[in-house]
């Protein structure tokens, strides 16, 4: 097995961060292959991919496999999570939320089937990044709405969010209620600053 470093000149995206492709290019063949194997293992029976759901044993095996990844692969995984969330946020802002039955289908539509993150990130991580991207968009939209019209009188936070964003906002399909509430509180903080 040959260890090669694919690092070429590093560029950054519009936000000054390394792209997913650059992160993967910095990995040795061994680390990249280990990350790809771990992704396949983690995706077995994933509900995000239409599976029955992973068993406790499958989750434990995947967790042990992650712990056994080379340090560079583990570090790349966390860097990729951040990078793909930024890329998803940019795509959502640019083209909006695609109509899709499953979140993973929306992610593939936004990134393209040849996106490098799809090679190494398991579906559950991609969905987490998608939700993080949507939450960042909701924070800014809520902050803008609060600046424009103030905080609506509402008994529950979710009612205030609905009044500010409108009941048909895609965030209500994508984000769980706790994430919407977190976004609302974050928007309130940013407006107060």
Token pair for 81: 């999570």
Per-residue pLDDT of 151-189, as tens digits, reads 999 999 999 999 999 999 999 999 999 999 999 999 999
d(CA 104, CA 130): 9
Where b means 16+ CB within 10 Å and e means fewer, 149-159 reads eeeeeeeebee
Instruction: Tell me which of 10-24, 67-81, 114-128 is least confident.
Output: 10-24
CA dist 107 and 129 (Å) reads 9
> How crowded is residue 169: how many other Cβ atoms within 10 Å of its Cβ?
19
Residue 143: other Cβ atoms inside 10 A: 21
């Amino acid at each position: 097995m040959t260890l090669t470093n694919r690092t070429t000149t590093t560029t950054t995206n519009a936000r000054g961060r390394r792209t997913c492709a650059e992160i993967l290019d910095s990995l040795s063949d061994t680390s990249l292959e280990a990350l790809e194997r771990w992704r396949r293992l983690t995706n077995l029976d994933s509900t995000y991919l239409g599976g029955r759901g992973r068993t406790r044993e499958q989750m434990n095996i995947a967790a042990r496999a992650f712990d056994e990844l080379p340090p560079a692969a583990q570090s790349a995984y966390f860097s990729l999570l951040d990078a793909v969330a930024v890329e998803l946020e940019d795509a959502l802002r640019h083209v909006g939320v695609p109509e899709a039955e499953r979140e993973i289908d929306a992610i593939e539509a936004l990134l393209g089937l040849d996106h490098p993150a799809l090679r190494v990130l398991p579906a559950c991580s991609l969905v987490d990044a998608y939700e993080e991207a949507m939450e960042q968009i909701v924070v800014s939209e809520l902050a803008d709405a609060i600046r424009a019209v103030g905080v609506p009188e509402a008994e529950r936070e979710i009612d205030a969010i609905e009044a500010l964003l409108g009941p048909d906002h895609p965030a209500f399909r994508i984000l769980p209620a706790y994430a919407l509430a977190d976004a609302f509180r974050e928007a309130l903080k940013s407006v107060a600053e």
